[in-house]
Chain A
Amino acid sequence: MAERKSARLIDLLTLLLTRRYGVELGEIRRLRGYPRGEDAFHRQFERDKELLRELGFAVVAREDADDSSATVYFLDRSKALLREIRFTPEELAALALARRLTAHLPLVGSNVREGLSRAGETALDEWATVGVSSLPAPAAAGKREESKLRLLERAVASDKRLRVRYRALGDSKALAREIDPYGLYLHGGAWYVYGHCHLRRAPRRFRVNRIEDVRFARRGKGPDFSLPRGFDLRRHVDRFPFELGPAAGGEAVVRFAPAQAWRVGAGLGRRGRVTRDADGSVRLRLTGVNPEALVTWVLGLGRGVQILSPPGLRKEIGKLARRVATLHRSGPHTGRKR
């Protein structure tokens, strides 16, 4: 009995799949397994349509293009999909984590990796909106690092405010601050949290290994903040320092000498307008950059990279370079006045 039913449904599905322009009721009646009586056939067909719908195949009826008095049935291919799986933010975070981890585990079967990768392709946008990057990750440095990452992922997935002690680059002491974590991502082998910093009252990114202590800022199960409308983590991953923080108006032009022109690859080149001079040097025209960060960044690139304009930044970088040179000439800096 069950076998006959399965065979009838497979036949019906095959018929609908092989007839692009629809199937007349008469053809369906010729399928094996349908009762002969008119009413019994209709009842059975209605039940079968419902069963196919439950399986993800929507059978729809429409008027026959050649004969307005006839009805044809066809599969709505736009709906011929299994029911969409909606993941909760926690499940998305877990999937993203699983995908990252399995990329490095040879013991995980290829079917699992393939499945997770496929899920990644289809749900990547969603993963980005819940704030978890799907890039492959290295193993956590230790238990402490692992539990820190877990807490951060939970906070990102459930929009929980965090209280952290963070030691910024160049600072000798960690500062307490509260952050609303929008996303967690991996860049250059290090984990970063991107979010709103309540201390600075602006979005900031935090390198996870400089977070000395982290905990939930508030008790309670509900979310503590909402993601900014249209937030997309991918826009904040792989950003140059001059793209972060307060931006100035106007254009800044950075020149890369021929030996340094390789730096303006696809990543940097997309940040601004690139022109090439006859001598092989490259000019990168940037707008809306953080001037202070641009000066520090250019200085860090060393010989062969210079700011051509605006004049204010040229002056600033010259001043900073002279200070560095003076410090180097006067030996190790002790922080005391001599």
Chain B
Amino acid sequence: MAVAQGHVPRLLHLVRLLEKHGEMSLADVASELGVSEDELAEDVRLLSTCGVPPYSPADLFEIEIEGGRVRLGRGL
């Protein structure tokens, strides 16, 4: 439970950061969240599978890493 409690605020923080800045460098986001770039990449992968039923591509978070930058799209 504690893991989820610490993890969920981090995921929410990640979404809010990207909502505010659009896209950011992997290094900057990792530093802001206090995690390694690998952990951040895991978070991004997890978020990209989150959304609402029926979980079609349009129902999922549009979040991706490309060229060392994290980007949040306008999905959902």
Mark A residues whose CB is within 8 Å of B.
2-3, 5-7, 9-11, 13-15, 18, 27, 30-32, 51, 54-55
Contacts and interface: CB of A to CB of B under 8 A. Distances in A.
A11 B50 contact: yes
A62 B4 CA distance: 27
11 contacts: A2-B7, A3-B7, A3-B46, A6-B8, A7-B49, A10-B11, A14-B61, A14-B76, A18-B52, A31-B52, A32-B55
Contacts of A5: 1, 3-4
Contacts of B49: 7
B9 interface: yes
Contacts of B54: 30
Contact of B53 (A6, A30, A51): A30
B52 A51 contact: no
Given A10-B50, A31-B53, 19 more contacts: A2-B3, A3-B46, A5-B3, A6-B4, A6-B8, A6-B11, A6-B46, A7-B46, A7-B49, A9-B4, A10-B8, A14-B61, A14-B76, A27-B53, A31-B52, A32-B55, A51-B4, A55-B5, A55-B12
Nearest to A82: B9
Contacts of A3: 7, 46
A27 B55 CA distance: 12
B19 to A, nearest CB: 12
A9 B53 CA distance: 14
Interface in B43-72: 46-47, 49-55, 61
B11 to A, nearest CB: 6
A11 to B, nearest CB: 6
B55 A9 contact: no
B1 A51 contact: yes
Given A54-B5, A55-B5, A55-B9, A11 B52 contact: yes
Contacts of B55: 32
In order of increasing CB-CB distance, the 9 nearest A-B pairs are A2-B3, A5-B4, A30-B53, A10-B50, A6-B7, A15-B52, A9-B8, A6-B4, A6-B8
B16 to A, nearest CB: 12
A55 B61 CA distance: 21
Interface string B12-50: 100000000000000000000000000000000011011
A55 B8 contact: yes
Contacts of B3: 2, 5-6
Nearest to B49: A7
A9 to B, nearest CB: 5
A252 to B, nearest CB: 53
